[in-house]
Amino acid sequence: MKRKRLLVIDDEPEICSIIRTLLEDEVGDVVTAEKTEEALHILNEQKFDLILTDIMMPGMSGTKLLSKINSGDQKTPVIFISGVDAPEYVAQLNSMGAVGYLSKPFMAEELIKSVHQALEGKSFLKAE
């Protein structure tokens, strides 16, 4: 698989660092942002193959970020990660076009498998 570019958005710096460490060798370049505003600036400057973002963040939520991402010309696949495991989020994210959802804490293998699925164009987001 060709090297890919990923954007990870989470207000917890340690989560960004862990995901970068897990995915850089496995998938490709990983850029991180700790604020949605910073992420939007990065997205205006660079293109990505996949975005991983938290749902609950200060300022703009991950769902609001997804609607901004989808409002542009380029549709970038998005996997949501969250410490909140609520089926209503899964249904909402599915209807918004997200490709996946992972509950924190997640296993390294689960993250890597999910990222590969999303990069292959497969959605693993199922409304429960």
Q: Which domains does the chain have, with CATH numbers?
A: 4-106 (3.40.50.2300)
Q: What percent of the chain has pLDDT over 70?
A: 91
pLDDT at 84: 75
Cβ–Cβ under 8 Å, residues 80 and 102: yes
**H/E element holding 61?**
none
pLDDT at 60: 80
Q: Is the pLDDT score of 97 beyond 80?
A: no
Look up residue 30 and give its DSSP letter.
E
| pTM listed for this prediction | 0.89
Q: List, for residues 27-81, the tens digit of each pLDDT value.
A: 999 999 999 889 989 988 999 999 999 988 888 877 788 787 777 666 788 998 8
